[in-house]
Amino acid sequence: MSAAPSLAAARERGTPRPIVTPEGVELHFVVARAGDRLAAFLLDSIFILVALTVLIVGTVLATGGLGGSGWLWAVIFLVVFLLQNFYFIFFESRGRGMTPGKRRMGIRVMEADGGTLTASAVVVRNVMRNLEVYVPLAALTSPELLWPAAPGWARFLSSIWLLVLAGMPLFNRRRLRVGDMVAGTIVVVAPQAVLLGDLGSDRRLADEPAEPVARWRFTEKQVDVYGEYELQVLEDLLRSTDPAGGQRETRRAVAQRITKKIRWKEQIPARDTEAFLLEFYTALRARLEQKLLFGRRKKDKFSADR
């Protein structure tokens, strides 16, 4: 499996589009290109074909032939049906929206509103693939199987219509196929988690020392204590103006509460309170962004990852 591309590499593959979660956290994703989606689908199709080939060859070697074994053909057709329909459902449900082909291409499925990818959405988008892909292929390769008594012009128009369905990602900016539109999903580039430089890069405290302050490193376990709601509250606190110093005690109290919650052993000097909060905000935002990229979401400190 290849590593997911960096955000800089992801930007080269498209224009970042913002998705604002219900908690007000804005995250940016790059819509996957139609070519990447096609390549991922072809790779997955190859994996399915290899699995079918191994199954058929193994069955032939084990039984000495399939000529007189009608039940074996029935089993093989059942396996073909299951692989064709449930391969994508299985991997997208259990692999954070990634099939092996999507993982190789560095793309993944997610809810269009930034929420957790649900099993129902996965099932709907993949059931629609029969109408979008397999029926058009049958219409092009064996039209007599679909419309044995239809006139030639009817077959031609039906084939065009089915090709339009299959080529739907080429006709909209978000590269949505019909299954995505029905299920409310979108396929995006899955970059490595990168913190959006909005808060830490555009402000400094008036009383912050000119020389660099000490840096704090937080473990994933410590950062995972909080969720999106606490991130938003912390951002509001850091963005709030403090002309008379009234917010300093509040920030100090928040910093003490955080250190107690995450079991931070070091004492934070009063002069470093803002810097500590900013460092923790940076780590928390990066962690939440990373988890959301892989389909996990935590609304607040009382919630488990969904």
pLDDT tens-digit readout, 19-51 = 665 555 566 678 888 889 989 999 999 999 998
Is 169 found in the same domain as 203? no
Is 213 found in the same domain as 172? no
In a domain, 179, yes or no: yes
Residue 180 structural domain: 7-189
> Last residue of some domain: 153, 170, 189?
189
> Last residue of some domain: 158, 174, 189?
189
In a domain, 1, yes or no: no
Q: Identify the three-state secondary structure at position 207.
A: coil
> Last residue of some domain: 161, 189, 217?
189
Is 88 found in the same domain as 181? yes
Q: What domain count does the chain have? A: 2
Structure confidence at residue 100 (pLDDT): 93
Would you state the structure tokens that stand for residue 200, as one six-digit string?
């830490």
Is 296 found in the same domain as 176? no
Is 170 found in the same domain as 219? no
pTM, whole model, 2 decimals? 0.57
Is 162 found in the same domain as 234? no
Structure confidence at residue 246 (pLDDT): 59
Is 185 found in the same domain as 145? yes
Is 136 found in the same domain as 205? no
143-153 residue pLDDT tens: 666 667 767 77
Query: In the chain, where do the E strands start and end?
Result: 16-20, 26-30, 107-111, 185-189
Is 279 found in the same domain as 217? yes
C-alpha to C-alpha distance for 166 and 60, rounded to whole angstroms: 35
C-alpha to C-alpha distance for 227 and 304, rounded to whole angstroms: 9
252: pLDDT confidence band, cut at 50, 70 and 90? confident
Does the pLDDT at position 6 exceed 60? no
Mean pLDDT value across residues 106-110: 89
